[in-house]
């Protein structure tokens, strides 16, 4: 199929990823240990063992480049999430809004079930650790929710198909030799590719999440309020800090925040101070970068660390943004329409520039060209049908 990238020859014959031993079983063990809450030594030893098993998964193959990257990153995130949970006491510290009894007083199987909910529910929806600024669910009733999410899912499937078609046809990033780089074309072509790849990444999260929400609500497993949107409102992206803190998905927020607070406390930063805020800021993005390194490795060892620099760079840009905003406030600049427009331009410009580093690695590794399994593949045939009817070669136009 056009657009698929071939994996490097020296990793073509890696063994298939054993999902049970490297994904399901480690999570179950973490939940049991959380429920039992043994001594610190046992919990720490459990985490070391679990982390070793999860991170060893990079030796295996899922059969798709994009999925390799996603799974490698997911294993690292699971490991860091387990670290935060195992070294705390969720059975006494966490509580769901619907629970009347303390979890420590529940039977073992209920404690394990709740531990699984806490482990999976990284945004804390409905729990006392729920992260701030969660987007609202799209509808309040079951029928309206299912209808809304179904239509939304269809839109995102078509959007994925459109941007993947553009990536496939963007011949300017593919040299005759077969080498790949988005730095070769001009600024406009580069920006289009960057936003096409970023949109693909957004769809890769949104489509499975919305599908799961439809199934859960249709089966009556949870209420609509348990499924706020995976991403926040784009109108909030008038600063880079707000983009990363409110708009982009927050699945890693629990462990990056916990590690950042721990480090700020260890360094004896005054809570609420500039130092504390920026220690947590840089820690969050460094930890996020480290969480993506196993994804690089799972694509191919030569890409190990290719994603990392992108994340600390965001912390540097946010620090610069904080400085400019602080100076503007001190000289009397008030927030208004023009400051927000300027903020949107700044945020879009920085992301276009910095995501290009990330997207370039995706192009060179073949991840950008790899089709997601749920892509509907209707845009390309539709372009051909329209072209035959109108005489306009849409394929050539998109690739021009």
Mean pLDDT by 10 residues, the chain (400 residues): 45 82 92 95 95 92 93 95 94 90 90 95 93 84 93 96 89 52 70 90 96 95 92 94 94 94 94 93 96 94 92 97 94 91 96 88 86 91 80 68
Model-level pTM greater than 0.85? Answer: yes
List the one residue out of 354, 8, 5, 375 whose CA is nearest residue 182: 354
Burial of 161 (0-12, 13-18, 19+ CB in 10 A): buried
List the one residue out of 279, 305, 364 whose CA is nearest residue 72: 305
**What's the distance, CA 353 to chain centroid?**
19
Burial of 374 (0-12, 13-18, 19+ CB in 10 A): middle
| pLDDT on residue 176 | 44
Distance CA 219, CA 225 (A): 15
**What's the distance, CA 271 to chain centroid?**
28
Phi-psi region of 37 (alpha: psi -120 to 50; beta: other; left: phi over 0): left
Q: What is the 3-state secondary structure (H, E, C) of 256-315?
A: HHHHHHHHHHHCCCCCCCHHHHHHHHHHHHHHHHHHHHHHHHHHCHHHCCCCCCHHHHHH
Distance CA 290, CA 312 (A): 10
Residues pairing with 16 in the sheet: 61
| pLDDT on residue 379 | 87
Burial of 224 (0-12, 13-18, 19+ CB in 10 A): buried
Q: What is the domain partition of the chain in residue ranges?
A: 9-120, 138-230
Rg of the chain taking only CA atoms, in angstroms: 23
Three-state secondary-structure class, residue 385: helix
């Amino acid at each position: 199929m056009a657009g698929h990238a071939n994996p490097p020859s020296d990793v073509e014959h890696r063994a298939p990823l054993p999902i049970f031993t490297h994904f399901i079983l480690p999570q179950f063990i973490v939940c049991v240990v959380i429920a039992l809450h043994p001594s610190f030594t046992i919990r720490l030893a459990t985490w070391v063992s679990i982390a070793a098993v999860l991170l060893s998964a990079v030796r295996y193959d899922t059969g798709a480049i994009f999925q390799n990257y996603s799974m490698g990153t997911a294993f690292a995130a699971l490991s860091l999430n387990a670290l935060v949970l195992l070294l705390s006491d969720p059975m006494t510290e966490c509580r769901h809004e619907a629970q009347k009894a303390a979890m420590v007083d529940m039977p073992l199987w209920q404690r394990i079930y709740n531990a699984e909910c806490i482990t999976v529910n990284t945004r804390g929806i409905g729990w006392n650790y729920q992260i701030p600024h969660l987007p609202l669910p799209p509808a309040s009733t079951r029928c309206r929710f299912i209808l809304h999410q179904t239509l939304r899912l269809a839109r995102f499937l078509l959007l994925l198909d459109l941007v993947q078609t553009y990536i496939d046809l963007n011949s300017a990033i593919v040299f005759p030799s077969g080498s790949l780089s988005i730095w070769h074309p001009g600024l406009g072509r580069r920006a289009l590719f960057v936003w096409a790849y970023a949109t693909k990444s957004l769809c890769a999260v949104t489509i499975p999440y919305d599908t799961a929400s439809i199934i859960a609500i249709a089966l009556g497993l949870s209420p609509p309020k348990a499924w706020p949107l995976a991403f926040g409102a784009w109108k909030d992206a008038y600063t880079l800090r707000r983009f990363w803190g409110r708009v982009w998905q927050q699945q890693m927020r629990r462990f990056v925040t916990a590690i950042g607070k721990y480090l700020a406390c260890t360094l004896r930063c005054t809570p609420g101070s500039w130092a504390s805020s920026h220690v947590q800021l840089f820690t969050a993005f460094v930890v996020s970068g480290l969480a993506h390194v196993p994804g690089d490795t799972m694509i191919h060892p030569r890409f190990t660390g290719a994603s990392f620099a992108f994340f600390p760079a965001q912390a540097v840009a946010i620090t610069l943004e904080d400085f400019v905003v602080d100076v503007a406030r001190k000289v009397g600049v008030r927030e208004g329409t023009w400051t927000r427009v300027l903020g949107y331009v700044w945020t879009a410009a920085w992301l276009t520039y910095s995501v290009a580093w990330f997207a370039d690695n995706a192009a060179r590794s073949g991840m950008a060209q790899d089709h997601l399994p749920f892509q509907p593949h209707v845009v390309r045939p539709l372009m051909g049908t329209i072209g035959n009817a109108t005489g306009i070669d849409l394929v050539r136009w998109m690739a021009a």
